[in-house]
Structure 1
């Protein structure tokens, strides 16, 4: 059972090289592919200069068409040039050890019904991340995500994602695998045959909602998605997205991708589209109204 992994680099070549120095020491990994997503700095040249003597392969996307398209370059390479049974995506700011991979390999061997497996995501301080996994999005929860006040109110009342993670892991005590709806795309492994069956990541999405779309397609083909509750990996969010985009840019990217996800995967027609369009209008109104609030918080 062979494992291959794709690492997508954008600008942060130093973080990527640090990740590679750890991954290539893991004998459980058979193939490592690094894709530079047309970084505007000297990332590709730095990676190219560092490559001799190492067992990872370097590719360049040619143009930055987003997270999905960049990772697909690596996935296609592994499917065309290797016999890897499982192909994973690992962000450069993720860290795990050989035991993590042994557990993943063993769980895949014992449970044919699972297409996607990963461990529990931890933060730098050792706490469990509320982004480890989450419920599938519905039309209502997707629309609500555009509404700052309702979304804020709901999160304060229920801490929904964190509660969902805690309750799921609590109920899974002693189990090898717990089935979950969606896992974050920063670190997961997927069966080669599942990639072939459902297709690669949706390249219409530049950033965000890749995981929700993948889960939608996986479930429609009858596969399961699982987390190994006794196995963990570390994800240091602070070294990637926040170093590239401002909060406003992130919000606008989220809004754009959310709209594409809703339109292509959730909407049933005109009324659903109208409801979503109204939520977008409220989003912009709230953004304008909240400028003084954010300014005061910054002070």
Structure 2
């Protein structure tokens, strides 16, 4: 299949970052040049004038591919917003071969999307391909990972040399990202998904607001035999955490604990989720002991207490279920 025969849907999600989303859209348009592609910009009910700003941008743009803005209707998070864009689909009604998802703080190189497409064309078992992310202050971002496990919950919070050496094969982030490699899951900042995989596995789970939604989606796909690859040849500048404010967390937000519990219970069951929480609590306790010996604070205040309290409450709530129904954009706002 030649590049012009491939049909692509590109989804760009905005929440209260209209100027940055506009910059991302400009970069994305350049990266889509020469492809049979359409860009859908989803505004996740920003309520700050973003939608009007982005509609004006699209109306005045002279891009090589068609683009439109849709309104999701509420700020339902990363999965909800991207699902809204996927459901909106191409205006010509054509079924895409691939869906490309881009964060509003990510700016693809001109060949970044084509590199991902070429890879999936050559590797039919891969359902996902992801880009190498970079920024001026960090040449390579950590954006490719192993699936979280009980062991990784302890290793990632204990952060002690002897523990990390013993459990290195369970460490969630891949640290050597200087080469193309198969991975368990990828950051959703710049990610290509095969439509055949989405038809079989379903969309992202709307039950996640932020965090762990990609992880669960990749895990669900892996259960169906689909694999994923991280590609250094696809380069995307990424600022990171602009919409979420993660770098400025004074405390871990409730939705992070909700998403973590949802991931472990959906993918492994409640007993495993409890064991993972105990492992994480043990690791956090190890680090608290190290702080008594002068180690720096690495976790927001109250993280251990809030983890235990949250998961004890979650344990006695009704079991979570997948929610992979694709939301329709708000018809009063959709083009």
Do structure 1's residue 180 and structure 2's residue 183 form an aligned pair?
yes
Measure, in 2, the Cα distance between the counterparts of 1:258 and 1:162. Answer: 14
Q: Contact conserved, 1:28 with 1:98, CA < 8 A, in 2?
A: no
Do structure 1's residue 53 and structure 2's residue 44 form an aligned pair?
no
Measure, in 2, the Cα distance between the counterparts of 1:155 and 1:32. Answer: 48
Aligned to 2:8: 3
| CA distance 1:22–1:52, change in 2 (3 Å) | same
Q: Contact conserved, 1:33 with 1:74, CA < 8 A, in 2?
A: yes
Matches within 5 A, 1:266-285: 266-267=268-269, 269-270=270-271, 272-276=272-276, 278=278
Structure 2 unaligned segments of length 5 or more: list them.
1-5, 301-335
Aligned to 1:165: 175
Matches within 5 A, 1:201-220: 201-220=204-223
Structure 1 unaligned segments of length 5 or more: list them.
none
Matches within 5 A, 1:1-299: 1-26=6-31, 27-29=33-35, 30-54=37-61, 55-78=66-89, 81-125=93-137, 127-129=139-141, 131-142=142-153, 148=157, 150=158, 152-153=159-160, 164-166=174-176, 169=178, 172=179, 178-242=181-245, 246-248=248-250, 250-267=252-269, 269-270=270-271, 272-276=272-276, 278=278
SS of match in other structure, 2:47: coil
Per-residue Cα deviation, 1:210-237 (whole angstroms, up to 9, x for no partner): 1211110111111110122333221111
| CA distance 1:139–1:113, change in 2 (3 Å) | same
In terms of fraction of residues, the more helix-rich structure is 1
Superposition deviation, residue 163 in structure 1: 7.7
Please tell me the root mean square deviation across aligned C-alpha atoms, in Å: 3.4
Measure, in 2, the Cα distance between the counterparts of 1:50 and 1:114. Answer: 35
Q: Contact conserved, 2:38 with 2:90, CA < 8 A, in 1?
A: no
Aligned residues: 280
Measure, in 1, the Cα distance between the counterparts of 2:229 and 2:85. Answer: 23
Query: So what's the TM-score if we normalise by structure 1?
Result: 0.80
Query: So what's the TM-score if we normalise by structure 2?
Result: 0.72
